[in-house]
Amino acid sequence: MQEPIIEIKDLTYSYHQEQNILENISLSIHKGDLVAIIGHNGSGKSTLVKLIAGLLEQKTESITLRGKLSYIPQKVSSDNNFPAKVKEILDLECCDCKLRDEVLKNLGIDEFVEKQFKVLSGGQQQRVLIALALLSNPDILILDEPTVGVDTKTQEDFYKLLKKLHKERELTILFVTHDTGMISDYFTKIICLDNKKAHMDEAKNTDKVLHSGYGEHFHEVHHHHHKTKESN
């Protein structure tokens, strides 16, 4: 079997000598996996992806990456003053024209490249960030709750887009989310963080993982899970 593109062995992490937020976590993520990372607030989802992305310093070298990584943060920026045009932001990544044209067309950005980033809608800003990430030609794409504060339709378009990109580019995608309703439709794997531990499984077993991961909160989450599915 191929070596995992992200290999985590025995990862433990705490912020400034406080209690561990993650404890002895071992995970193998393979090329082409489309992974949803779920868990309660404070369960360490963002911490885990920040460690993988290298934004937090590991105390021991527990994470091996075998590919180029791009990261899309939770919040674009609360700053509505940033003056750059979309074009100027995309220019931050040097890349060949062919890739650029393809990415812009694929994400439907060509129509607003001349606009300033700050005047775009939340969904459009998100697409610019994805484009920026794709222009660096990554093997791994990490997204930390990128759909927070975006309407349901935009969210759904976003999941479809991810699935398409995943298929076309064989991207490995890690996606932190609270929205458990769509996991089995769009993702291949699921990682559930709970009580400092991580459980990984196939996305089709989401119910099972939710059960093991969320413990006594299962019913509440399960209820939400089915409610979201019905409304879809």
Partner 1 sequence: MFEILSYEFMQRALLGGIIISTASALIGVFLVLKRLSLLGDSLAHASFGGIALGFVTGWNPLLTALAFVTLASLGIDRLVNKLKVYGESAIALMLSFGMALALLLIGIAKKMDYNIFSYLFGSILTINSFDIALAATVLALILIFYFFNYKILLYSAFNQDIALVRNKRTKLIDKLFIMLSAVTIVISIRAVGILLISALLVIPALIGLRLSKSFKSTIFIAILSSICGVLLGIFLAYYFDLPAGGTIVMSLLFLFVLSLFFGRK
Q: Which residues bind partner 1 (CB under 8 A)?
A: 16, 53-55, 69-73, 76-77, 79, 81-85, 88-89, 91-93, 116, 129, 132-133, 136
What's the gap between Cα 60 and its chain centre?
24
Question: DSSP secondary-structure letter at 143?
Answer: E
Q: Nearest-CA neighbor of 4 among 45, 38, 52?
A: 52
CB 119, min distance to partner 1, A: 10
Q: Which is nearer to partner 1, 93 or 157 (CB)?
A: 93
Whose Cβ is closer to partner 1: residue 111's or residue 230's? 111
Least Å from the CB of residue 13 to partner 1: 16
Q: How far is the CB of 129 from partner 1 (least distance, A)?
A: 8
Rounded Cα–Cα distance for residues 177 and 148 (Å)? 8
- In the complex with partner 1, which residue's Cβ is closer, 109 or 133? 133
Q: E strands along the chain, which residues? A: 6-14, 20-29, 34-39, 63-65, 69-72, 140-144, 172-176, 189-194, 197-202
Distance CA 116, CA 83 (A): 6
DSSP string for residues in 149-187: T--HHHHHHHHHHHHHHHHHH--EEEEE-S-GGGHHHH-
Tell me the closest approach of the beta carbon of residue 92 to partner 1, in angstroms: 5
The nearest distance, CB 188 to partner 1, in angstroms, is 24
Min. distance of Cβ 218 from partner 1 in angstroms? Answer: 33
CB atoms within 10 A of CB 38: 24
* Residue 222 CB burial class (10 angstroms; 0-12, 13-18, ≥19): middle
